[in-house]
A = this chain, B = another copy of it.
Amino acid sequence: MDERQKKLLKEIVESYINNVKPVGSQALCKKFKLSSATIRNEMALLEKLGYIEKNHVSSGRVPSEKGYKYYVDYLMKPKELNGEEMLKLQTIFHNQQLQVSDAIAKCMEIIADITNYTSVVLGKSSSDNTLQQVNIIPLDNNQVIALVCTNKGIVENKKFNISENIFLDELVKTCDIINKMLIGTPIDQVSERLEFEVKPIISKTIRQYEKVYEIFYDAFNDFTKNSANVFFSGKTNILKQPEYDNIEEIKRIVNKFEDESLVKKIEEASEGVNVYIGDETEFDPNVTIIKSKYNINGEEGTIAIIGPKRMEYDRVIGLLEYINKELNEVDEKN
């Protein structure tokens, strides 16, 4: 491919991204100050090389997956955010009050909104969280709240009925013991240590120790279960994309958003911002997924944007790179 052919490919891809219509030789004439015949010759070559395709023998050309890929890798450069976008995102990142995971979620919500694509946050179980504190808060009528808090400030709470002669003071005593023995324990090991280290001890002093043990066990267990979460925004934004004009296709894709095992696949990503086009996504042949991993302060996960293959690559990549940068700054502050 010589310089002119690259320019041509770039123009074709961008025109198709913007107009959704197959692009023909006529449309490119003026831009390149060449006759349509010349353009046709060049396009025939690009097609032979596999960068563009025809829908039928006399339609205009459409970028192939290979063409999109080449465009992303060599022809496009990430777009800078405009002022408004930057502003919206900055107010989130500079809001000290927000927990990191909430900030990311809010961020992706905004991105789904401004791009009209679908965004996902796949939070990994925050594996290197450690136990910071357990609390028991008594409520009215025989109920207590068990609170678990990690060193990263993630809090989970669970309500229990304590009708069957469990005494509050014994619960609190056990709570103190746990706090003395297990603070600093990685959160995914707490259950185990609770069973093998704490249970033997309380069995000597606590009357209903089995019941008491179960309460704390449940509280911790719930924690680790809840902490693997998926957060979608703009699940129905696909309806705003003009190329999805038949209901069957929309159904197919929207249903995939509900398929847990399929969504989990999105989680895998390498460093930096990665682009997966069509079949590469392993999700759906008619979408592009742009992903990026984050690891802030021990909380890790993947953020992803799902859109048509005709995605505004420069814009989305720019957005994700910007978020990466901001997240790194947050990370370094801590």
Interfacial residues, chain A to chain B (CB-CB below 8 A) = 96-97, 99, 132-133, 135, 137, 139-141, 143, 145, 147, 149, 151-153, 155, 157-161, 218, 222, 235-236, 239-240, 245, 247, 250-251, 254, 257, 334
Q: Are B139 and A151 in contact (CB under 8 A)?
A: yes
Q: Are B135 and A135 in contact (CB under 8 A)?
A: yes
Closest to A160 in B: B97
A244 to B229, CA, bound (A): 32
Q: Which of B143, B153, B250 contacts A159 (CB 8 A)?
A: B153
Interface pairs A-B: 7 shortest CB-CB: A155-B157, A153-B159, A236-B254, A133-B137, A239-B251, A137-B149, A96-B161
Q: Using A96-B161, A239-B247 as known contacts, say yes or no to A147 and B140 having CB atoms under 8 A apart.
A: no
Q: Are A153 and B139 in contact (CB under 8 A)?
A: yes
Residues of B within 8 A of A147 (CB): 135, 147, 149, 155
Q: Are B145 and A97 in contact (CB under 8 A)?
A: no
Inter-chain pairs besides A140-B151, A147-B149, 13 sampled, C-beta below 8 Å: A96-B161, A132-B137, A132-B139, A139-B152, A141-B334, A145-B153, A149-B157, A153-B157, A235-B235, A236-B254, A239-B251, A247-B250, A250-B250
